[in-house]
């Protein structure tokens, strides 16, 4: 091959290589344009979680160093799970490690707590607006004693029954009141303060059978409806708490469980009972005993020896099963269809068909139920259907008790403001439309401090620090 042919070959190779490079550059340009187009479309699209457009969703909240996504994510975890603030920080840190550009910075646990406090305080401030033009009922309960402090929350719910049991999304915290002790007068004063804040009085009150609540309702001239679950449990307690047969049955059940909890037969043992409010949780143990009697003949010799006490109480178990079944039926009617003259009539008929046909103990409880239904019926107007269950407050504060500090000397702290936020995030649509940016911008840390000074007591921990510091 002469030099001319070599040069021609080299020129062709160079030309081909140049063409390949141009085609590659063209493909790279096309890919870059496609990526830029997809990025632009992504920025224009809405976030699938909350519905905000991406730029608005990812931008930093004025006066804060974190994006709305991070704040909303933290508040959702706090309200919809049992995560503590420290756990939330860990979750956000993991999210930051697994994604790019979604989490710019991880907040501290104290920052998360402040977000919760600000939004919770804003919820309390906006309760009158939420019930503007609507009638409401007040759910009141001296529900917690933390150290030397007793908490009295006032929760507003729709006055008219919604055709279903009350949900967390139906409730709004009007205010928290804290004192070292409550009397009928102080409860009445708190109810007056609640009415002044709301701009109108509640149509009625819902509470347990505490005498202070009854007297406070009378002093305030409010209609008072007793919580159905607490009331029926109280009737059962009056009759069976000191009953020898009931006590013997429970003792043998507890002894059996204690002696066999570490043996192979432990899987057949009775469920645990509540230490407090035991008569509100009888159904699990009674159902267990009833089922054990049904399968008793199929047990082996060892199992029959362990549970040999059950056949001796077969008639008592049957009695308790009828009582529990009747109570559950009444609760079901009241919670799902509301307290009305119609449901009162249906429940009276059910009591007469069941427990009033039983033995003397059953008839005594049945008579108390009938008297209670008669009293409630007298407080009702024709065609009126109201709520008479405070389960919602029990559920809410059960969650708060789970998250509160084990140190009782801390008393009631500003983290109680977590509860209004939990109510706000209970319904998915409301949570998605929750304006986090507006709430955080409207409320400052100093507002939380002012609210604490006006509504909470000085805790034992603070008193201890001040006293020892002055020494």
- Say yes or no to pLDDT of 60 above 90: no
Q: What is the pLDDT of residue 50?
A: 46
Which of residues 165 and 274 earns the better pLDDT score?
Answer: 165
Confidence of residue 69 (pLDDT cuts 50, 70, 90): confident
- Say yes or no to pLDDT of 124 above 80: yes
136-149 pLDDT per residue, tens: 999 998 877 777 78
299-345 pLDDT per residue, tens: 999 999 999 999 999 999 999 999 999 999 999 999 999 999 999 99
4-34 pLDDT per residue, tens: 766 776 777 777 778 778 887 887 888 778 7
406-460 pLDDT per residue, tens: 777 777 888 889 889 989 888 888 888 888 888 888 889 999 999 998 888 877 7
Does pTM top 0.85 for this prediction? no
Burial 268-290 (b: 16+ CB within 10 A, else e): bbbeeeeeeeebbebbebbbbbb
């Amino acid at each position: 091959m002469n030099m001319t042919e070599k040069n021609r070959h080299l020129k062709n190779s160079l030309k081909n290589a140049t063409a390949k490079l141009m085609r590659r550059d063209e493909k790279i340009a096309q890919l870059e344009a496609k990526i830029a187009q997809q990025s632009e479309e992504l920025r224009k699209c809405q976030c699938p979680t909350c519905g905000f457009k991406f730029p608005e969703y990812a931008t930093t909240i004025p006066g804060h160093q974190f994006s709305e996504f991070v704040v909303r994510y933290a508040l959702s975890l706090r309200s919809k799970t049992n995560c503590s603030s420290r756990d939330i920080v860990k979750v956000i840190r993991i999210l930051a490690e697994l994604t790019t550009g979604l989490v710019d910075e991880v907040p501290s646990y104290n920052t998360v707590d402040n977000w919760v406090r600000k939004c919770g305080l804003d919820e309390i401030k906006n309760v009158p607006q939420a019930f503007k033009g609507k009638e409401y009922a007040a759910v009141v309960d001296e529900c917690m004693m933390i150290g030397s402090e007793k908490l009295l929350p006032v929760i507003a719910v729709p006055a008219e029954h919604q055709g279903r049991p009350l949900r967390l999304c139906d409730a709004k915290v009007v205010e928290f009141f804290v004192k070292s002790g409550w009397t009928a007068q102080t409860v009445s004063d708190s109810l007056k303060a609640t009415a002044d804040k709301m701009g109108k009085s509640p149509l009625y009150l819902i509470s347990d059978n505490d005498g202070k609540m009854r007297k406070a309702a009378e002093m305030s001239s409010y209609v008072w409806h007793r919580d159905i679950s607490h009331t029926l449990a109280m009737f059962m307690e009056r009759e069976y708490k000191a009953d020898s047969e009931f006590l013997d049955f429970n003792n043998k059940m507890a002894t059996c469980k204690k002696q066999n909890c570490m043996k192979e037969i432990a899987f057949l043992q009775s469920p645990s009972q509540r230490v407090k409010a035991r008569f509100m949780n009888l159904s699990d143990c009674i159902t267990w005993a009833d089922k054990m009697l049904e399968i008793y003949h199929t047990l082996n010799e060892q199992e029959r020896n362990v549970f040999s006490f059950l056949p001796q109480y077969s008639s008592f178990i049957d009695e308790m099963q009828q009582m529990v079944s009747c109570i559950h039926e009444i609760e079901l009617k009241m919670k799902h269809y509301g307290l009305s003259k119609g449901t009162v009539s249906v429940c009276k008929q059910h009591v007469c068909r069941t427990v009033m046909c039983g033995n003397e103990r059953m008839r005594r409880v049945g008579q108390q139920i009938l008297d209670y239904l008669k009293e409630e019926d007298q407080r009702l107007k024709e065609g009126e259907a109201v709520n008479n269950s405070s389960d919602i407050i029990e559920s809410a504060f059960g969650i708060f008790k789970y998250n509160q500090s084990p140190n009782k000397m801390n008393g009631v702290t500003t983290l109680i403001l977590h509860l209004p936020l939990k109510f706000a995030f209970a319904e998915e649509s409301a949570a998605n439309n929750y304006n986090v940016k507006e709430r955080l911008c409207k409320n400052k840390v100093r507002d939380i401090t002012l609210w604490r000074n006006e509504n909470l007591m000085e805790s034992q921990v603070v008193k201890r620090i001040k006293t020892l510091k002055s020494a």
